[in-house]
């Protein structure tokens, strides 16, 4: 369109414009900022830093130079962005706790594992390239890579660096692009180069084959990798997943000494996490912790157990689960491939593609060298002609106005050869120089022949690559730091693990209010109860046992004794904890372990023996246990004691009938109605005339106490014989005055 100014303007739909702008920005972030390249394992800013330092001559043998000088060189020539971001990228490459094989050798404060960003300003630190950077730059001047103009066209910079090892695996890296991210873990150089050699010998090798050599990542820290090998193999096959690493610890004089932490874990943060748990009284088995790290021991955290009876392995399992002593490292092998496109690759695809790049690089290096040899031989051949005809050459130089043209015409020389002859110094005309030239020609011809053999044979090229890998592995490789171990999964302490086995008494009121008191000496009947409420039941047990309540509808409910309110108050209603049916009420409770045998029965005269473990539930609505029909109510449960002698069940009706029989006559069930305990005529029960009101389970040597108001009848075994009968019988009447029974209990003889 044409505007009022007369200038031509391009018109574009807003949708197309925004789409193009977004895609352009996305590709810029992906290719030029966030993702490393498979070839050299570097992001653009990292590549430019390494190259600029190489151009400044800051190799591993050079003097340290102010980092500000390097940063200025980088942003001034190659990377026109902020100096802070550039310096931070440089710092990362210098931190031996961030990079497995650091590319920058720093002097000064370059941060610490506690706070990687606590490094000093660039004007205070000094730097140079590390020895590992040699593996990136050594071949950069040998025609191995393409150069492109920098941002303003004033300088040339390499598109990629001729990496001699796959740094994309060795150092790994992280990055967040637009719509994608990368998380590459570091690996051991020796293992990776061995895998490359294996792949050259066996191109059809699978991921499983390569995993026999590269067993997993190798972090800069000495943490243990605890992810099962089968899972690691699957991650390396898919290129995605998560790998766990765990701190290394040992016992020294009764103390727990942590000497290695997971990658990127902060010792200070870990101590804070442990200290917080100690403050919250979640680690009563620890009494002290110290940080004894120093120059000789970069990581040395000391945990002091309360006594030598502390289960150290269980304690550390808890700390692994609740602190940064164990960390998960995300894996996403996303990178820019040789085709210039981002993609997630498995370990085999990475190595195959990198070996392709390395072969191309070596071929370019050999061809470059071959061209240099040919050029040098050309010059040397011209010099030999000059030496063989030295007198004539001297005469031409002295007498001819244009000696170069005359030399070219007389001896059929090229311009390059003629210039080389003319540039000769007088001392180079000695006889010894002739022998040197002949020797150099022979050496170059031998080298030329060897290079041509390599370029003409894939097998020879593979041999060259393997020999180079072996040499690099010998000169630069080191042993694995992160050991792969098989361990149990970390597990945090549960609330129950901190519960002691102190004696307690749980008190239940008639209205369903509950509370707990320490010890077994409590007289529950003397406690203060709410208006209109009264004592119902008290049970004795321990804080680490299971407490089960039973409602009139036959449902059980579970509560932890330590979670109940103190008996100093009036307690709390169970209806606040549990969802009970509208017409139901709580009738009783029992406490014990899961194997504890319990008697469940109803006022209709039916019941069974069950295990406490079968009644435990986390549901607020309870768990069906005793089946009762309409008009029938469950009675308070009671524990069946274990005894070498006969254990009896005593059942009393409201008519004063007592029946005693061996409790084993009742079946053991998980749930149900049970069997008949005492015979109550249906008509009598339906009319409300007779029902079962009390039961008690006691051993043969116990005394059964029958209470009727203020009167008590104590029945020894000799007295109980009179009331013994088969299960399901009517029982016998108690003596006059004791037929209105209101309590039934046992006491030791």
Residues labelled catalytic? 124
Pair 678, 729: CB distance under 8 Å: yes
Residue 259 CB contacts under 8 Å (≥ 6 apart), including other chains: 222, 248, 249, 250, 297, 299, 300
Question: Which residue, 141, 42, 137, is CA-closest to 92?
Answer: 42
The per-residue DSSP string of 9-56 comes to -----HHHHHHHHHHHHHHHHIIIIISPBTTTS--HHHHHHHHHHHHT
Report yes or no: 656 and 735 within 8 Å, Cβ to Cβ: no
Contacts 24+ apart (CB under 8 A), 196-203: 196/166, 196/351, 196/354, 196/355, 196/465, 196/469, 197/466, 197/469, 197/470, 199/348, 199/351, 199/352, 199/355, 200/355, 200/462, 200/465, 200/466, 201/462, 201/466, 203/352
Residue 451, CA atoms < 13 Å, CB-side half-sphere: 19
Contact status, residue 323 vs residue 274, Cβ threshold 8 Å: yes
**Alpha-carbon gap, residue 483 to 478, rounded angstroms:** 14
DSSP-based three-state secondary structure for 254: coil
- Coil, strand or helix: which one is 619? coil
The dihedral region occupied by 193, where left means phi > 0, alpha psi between -120 and 50, and beta the remainder, is alpha
Q: Which segments of 226-300 are extended strands (E)?
A: 240-246, 248-252, 255-260, 286-291
Closest to 50 measured CA to CA, from 129, 106, 108, 126: 129
CA separation for the pair 240, 184 (Å, rounded): 10
Q: Which string of b and e fits 306-342 if b means at least 16 CB within 10 Å?
A: eeeebebeebbbbbbebbbbbbebebbbbbbbeeeeb
Question: Are β-strands 301-305 and 555-559 bridged in parallel, bridged antiparallel, or unpaired?
Answer: unpaired
CB atoms within 10 A of CB 488: 9
Which burial class, exposed, middle or buried, applies to 10 when counting CB atoms under 10 A from its CB (0-12, 13-18, 19+)? exposed
Which residues lie across from 517 on neighbouring strands?
505
Torsion of CA 88, 47, 351, 371, to 10 degrees: -160
């Amino acid at each position: 369109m044409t505007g009022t100014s007369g200038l031509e303007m391009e018109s574009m739909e807003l949708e197309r414009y925004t789409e193009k702008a977004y895609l352009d920005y996305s590709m810029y972030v992906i290719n030029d900022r966030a993702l490393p390249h498979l070839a050299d394992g570097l992001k653009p800013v990292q590549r430019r830093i390494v190259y600029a330092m190489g151009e400044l001559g800051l190799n591993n043998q050079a003097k340290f130079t102010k980092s500000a000088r390097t940063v200025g060189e980088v942003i001034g020539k190659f990377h026109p962005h902020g100096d802070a971001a550039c310096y931070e990228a440089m710092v990362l490459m210098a931190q031996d706790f961030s990079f497995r094989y650091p590319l920058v050798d720093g002097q000064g404060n370059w941060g610490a594992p506690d706070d990687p960003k606590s490094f000093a300003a660039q004007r205070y630190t000094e730097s140079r390239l590390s020895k590992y950077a040699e593996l990136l730059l050594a071949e950069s001047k040998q025609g191995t890579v393409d150069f492109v103009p920098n941002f303003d066209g004033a300088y040339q910079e390499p598109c990629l660096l001729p990496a001699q090892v796959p740094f994309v695996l060795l150092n790994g890296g992280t990055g967040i692009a637009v719509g994608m991210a990368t998380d590459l873990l570091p690996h051991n150089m020796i293992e990776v180069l061995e895998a490359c050699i294996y792949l050259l010998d066996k191109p059809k090798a699978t991921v499983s084959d390569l995993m026999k050599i590269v067993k997993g990542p190798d972090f800069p820290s000495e943490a243990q990798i605890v992810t099962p090998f089968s899972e690691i193999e699957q991650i390396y096959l898919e290129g995605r997943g998560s790998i766990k690493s765990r701190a290394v610890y040992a016992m020294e004089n009764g103390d727990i000494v942590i000497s290695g932490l997971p990658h990127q874990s902060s010792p200070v943060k870990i101590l804070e996490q442990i200290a917080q748990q100690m403050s919250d009284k979640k680690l009563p088995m620890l009494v002290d912790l110290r940080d004894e790290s120093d120059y000789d021991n970069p990581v040395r955290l000391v945990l002091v157990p309360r006594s030598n009876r502390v289960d150290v392995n269980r304690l550390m399992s808890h700390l692994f689960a609740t602190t940064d002593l164990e960390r998960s490292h995300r894996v996403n092998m996303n990178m820019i491939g040789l085709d210039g496109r981002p993609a997630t690759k498995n370990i085999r695809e990475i190595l195959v593609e990198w070996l392709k790049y390395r072969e191309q690089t070596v071929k370019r290096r050999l061809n470059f060298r071959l061209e240099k040899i040919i050029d040098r031989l050309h010059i040397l051949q011209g010099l030999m002609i000059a030496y063989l005809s030295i007198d004539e050459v001297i005469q031409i130089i002295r007498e001819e106005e244009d000696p170069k043209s005359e030399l070219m015409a007389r001896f059929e020389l090229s311009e390059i050869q003629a210039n080389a002859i003319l540039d000769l110094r007088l001392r180079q005309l000695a006889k010894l120089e002739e022998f040197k030239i002949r020797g150099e020609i022979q050496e170059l011809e031998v080298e030329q022949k060897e290079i041509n053999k390599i370029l003409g044979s894939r097998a020879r090229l593979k041999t060259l690559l393997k020999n180079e890998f072996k040499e690099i592995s010998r000169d630069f490789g080191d042993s694995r730091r992160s050991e792969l171990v098989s361990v149990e999964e970390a597990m945090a302490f549960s609330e129950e693990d901190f519960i002691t086995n102190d004696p307690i008494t749980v008190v239940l009121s008639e209205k369903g209010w509950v509370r707990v008191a320490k010890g077994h000496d409590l007289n529950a009947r003397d406690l203060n109860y709410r208006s209109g409420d009264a004592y119902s039941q008290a049970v004795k047990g321990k804080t680490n046992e299971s407490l089960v309540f039973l409602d009139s509808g036959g449902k059980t409910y579970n509560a932890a004794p330590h979670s109940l309110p103190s008996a100093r108050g009036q307690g709390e209603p169970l209806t606040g904890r549990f969802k009970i049916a509208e017409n139901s009420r709580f009738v009783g409770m029992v406490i014990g372990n899961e194997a504890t045998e319990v008697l469940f029965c109803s006022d209709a005269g039916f019941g069974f023996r069950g295990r406490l473990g079968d009644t435990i539930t986390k549901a607020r609505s309870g768990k069906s246990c005793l089946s009762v029909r309409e008009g029938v109510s469950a009675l308070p449960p009671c524990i069946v004691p274990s005894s070498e002698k006969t254990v009896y069940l005593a059942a009393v009706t409201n008519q004063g009938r007592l029946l005693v029989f061996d409790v084993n006559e009742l079946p053991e069930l998980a749930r149900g109605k049970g069997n008949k305990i005492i015979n109550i005529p249906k008509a009598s029960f339906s009319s409300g005339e007779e029902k079962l009101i009390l039961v008690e389970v006691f051993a043969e040597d116990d005394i059964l106490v029958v209470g009727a108001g203020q009167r008590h009848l104590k029945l020894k075994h000799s007295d109980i014989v009179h009331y013994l009968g088969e299960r399901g019988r009517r029982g016998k009447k108690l003596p006059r005055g004791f037929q209105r029974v209101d309590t039934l209990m046992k006491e030791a003889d």
